[in-house]
Every structure is written in structure tokens, then in C-alpha cells.
Amino acid sequence: MESTIHDSSSLKNKLLITFICYLCYFYTANIVLVTGAVMQPLSEYFHNNNIGFAFTFINVAMWFAILIIGILMNRFSIKLLLIAAVAIGIISSLITTIIPSMFTLKILLTCVGITGGLFMAIASYMIVHIYNDHKIRAMNVIFTDFFFSFGGALIPIFAAYLITQHFEWYTIYLILQITAVIILVLVIFSDFTILNRHNISTKEIKPNLSFSTWNLSLYCVAFAAFLFLLAQLTMTSYAQSYFQEILRWGTIDANKPLSYFWTAQCVGLFISPIITRFIPLKYILPTFMLIGLAALSCILYIPDMSIVFKAAIIFGLFNCYIYAGLLAYGTFQMENAPPTLITTILLFGTTGTALSTTTGAFINQYFGLTSVMHAVVIFYIISFILVILAVIFSKEQKNSQTFI
């Protein structure tokens, strides 16, 4: 009887932690992808057309949080780190709402970046460590990506609606903290000792990864991940402004392509695992990227609204698995690949994310919005070429397909 109660309690706690992981990704998507919706209101509020540079703070802060999370998790409990992350996000939003200024905006963006980075890194760790069964683990990893894409689908339309209702930008950021409050409540009622059983084995294993052990294919994978996220996040940050200012679309219509894109990503995340069971990644990655490149070109170079909407859906469907696929394909290049390999490739991708708004803002300031969109296509093309090179020079291990 006691064993049954214990198992029931353990399952309930595992589900709570799993839902925390989902919400952590949802929150991160909200604070990263709201950028495109609030950029124009911020420009008007501060009378500054180069406000995009300010969003560098959020991406660099997120990159830094992911970089140091290993050190923090060795010194502090996961529960404490999650509570601290929530507090940082909420307090910074409250301060900015009370005293809105360029200074408090930078503080806000830095703090929510730290919160989002901590959330994403901790959620990734927890979702991998609480499920031993590989199929269940893979399913939950897909669901974390689903919640990120769901946040991306929801937030552009939601933020655009708030803007049309004359909500200020700082109020929008404050409303986004509702997710953080829900996470806080779940964290308080969750027991994280389920993760303790992994601590001993984690400390005993000290995998080392030297770049000298990398083959050419691995370098191509890493830089492809960097350029892929640089292209995608630059596009999602500036597409709405491009549609409004260059194509003269209304606020709601200008947000629809991004909403359709992220919705299609949600759907694609369920379809792609089925495809990978039958088709090797070495065929999937170049094919998906080629179709994605064609769809991206239609989005940016064909001004017809209906075509843009359809292209955004196709782009989302075929773009959804590229980054996860690159991570998986990277591990295929080494026999018994150490965990630090994935971490290193993740760091390349996160660096692309961190540089996206800075790169976009720089190009926008000196060359204009249209040039930002040209740059997105160029980044994507180079990433596509690197993927082809990664496949050509691959040292793929024979048992690699079991990874998927």
C-alpha cells in the first residue's frame, strides 16, 4: 500500500516537473519572440529608430546564463535557481513598469534574458534526467520544442492585439510574467530530489572534448547551427517591421506570417520524428533546408500577402527539425560522443541567437530593413552549403541511426 502511494506521489511529482519544463520553454519563447512586435512601439516611445541594438542585452544575457548554468547547478539547488530566475524576471518587469526609461529597458532585457536562459538550460537538464526510457524522453524533448513554438505562434498575435488596444510596451512585458508566476507556484509544490540520484554519476564522469578531435563535418555542423539560428532569429525579429514599413501592411496582418510560421513549427515537430524513423538525417537536413530556403525567398521577395502566408507555413513545417537535426547529426560524427559535444554545438547556436538582434540592428541602421532581409537569406544559404559539406565529409558512425 505504501509502495503504491509512493509510486503515485512520484509520478505526480514527475508530471509537475515536466510541466515546469514545458512552461520554461514557453516563457523563453515569449520574451525572445515578442521582440518583433514591440520594436516599433519602442522606437516610437523613445524616438529612436535603432532601438534594435537594445535587444542585444536579452540575447547576450541568455547566452551568459546558459554558459554558467553548470557552475550554478553545482553550487545551488535547482529549486533555488528556478525561484531566483522567476524573481529576477518579475522584479525587473515591475521596476520598468513603474519607471519606464531606456536605462530600465536595458535592465529589463538583461534580466528577462537571464531568466529565459536559466529556464531553458534547467528545463533541458531536468527533462533529460527524470526520464530513463529513451522513447518517453524523446517525446518530452519534442514537447518542450512544441511549447517554444506554441509561444512563438501565440505571442506575435497576442502582443499585436495588446498594441492595438493601446497597451504600452512595458505593460506587455509585465503581462508575460504571468507564466513566470505559474512556474513559481509549480516549483514551490514540486520535489526536486528525484534528480539527486544523477548527481553522483554526473560528478564521476568528466568528459573532455578537444576541438582537435573534431572532423571537418563537425565544424560544418557547428557553424551551420550558428548561421541557421542567426538567420531565423534575425528574420523573426525584423520581419514584422519589414512587412509594416516596407510593404505597408497593418499591425495585425504584419504579425500573421510569424504566427503561421511558429504554428507550422508546432505541427512539424510532431511529424518530423516519424519521418526520421524512415529517412536518414543526411538526406533530411539538406532537403528540408532547400525547401525552407525556397519558402523563405517567397516570404521576403514576393509581396503578395496570401503567398507570404502560405510560404510562412511551409517554412515553419520544414524548418522545425533543422536545429535538433544538426545536434543529432553532430553526435553521429563521433563514436561514444561525450555530452560536452552537444553542449558545444548548443553554444554555437546560442551565439547565433545572441548576435541576431545586434546584427539586424547594425544592418538596419546603415543599410535599411530590406538589407536585413537580404542578409537573412545569405545567412541561410551559407548554412545550407555548410550542411551539404557536413554530409559530404561525414564520418557518420554505423550505429548512428539508433540515436533517433
pLDDT bracket for residue 138 (50, 70, 90): low
pLDDT bracket for residue 398 (50, 70, 90): very low
Q: What is the CA radius of gyration of the chain?
A: 21
* CA-based end-to-end distance of the chain: 38
pLDDT bracket for residue 157 (50, 70, 90): confident
Give the helix ranges, DSSP H, for 189-321: 199-204, 216-241, 251-276, 281-301, 305-319
CB-CB neighbours of 3 under 10 Å: 7
Q: Say what the pLDDT of residue 91 is.
A: 97
Q: Which comes out higher in pLDDT, residue 138 or 195?
A: 195
Same CATH fold assignment for domains 9-205 and 212-397: yes
CA distance 176 to 159: 10
Among 232, 352, 374, residue whose Cα is nearest residue 300: 374
Amino acid, res. 300: L
212-397 maps to which CATH number?
1.20.1250.20
Q: Say what the pLDDT of residue 202 is.
A: 43
Tens-place pLDDT, residues 158-210: 888 888 888 999 999 999 999 999 999 999 999 888 776 544 444 444 445 55
Q: Say what the pLDDT of residue 139 is.
A: 67
pLDDT bracket for residue 403 (50, 70, 90): very low
Q: Which comes out higher in pLDDT, residue 309 or 395?
A: 309
Q: Say what the pLDDT of residue 204 is.
A: 43
| pLDDT for residue 342 is more than 50 | yes
Query: Average of pLDDT values for 129-134?
Result: 69
C-alpha neighbours within 13 Å on the C-beta side of residue 12? 9
pLDDT bracket for residue 234 (50, 70, 90): very high
CA distance 242 to 351: 24
Q: Say what the pLDDT of residue 206 is.
A: 43
9-205 maps to which CATH number?
1.20.1250.20
Give domain limits for the chain. Answer: 9-205, 212-397
DSSP letters of 290-331? HHHHHHHHHHHH---HHHHHHHHHHHHHHHTTHHHHHHHHHH
Q: What is the dihedral of CA 173, 174, 176, 180, to 10 degrees?
A: 130
Q: Say what the pLDDT of residue 96 is.
A: 94
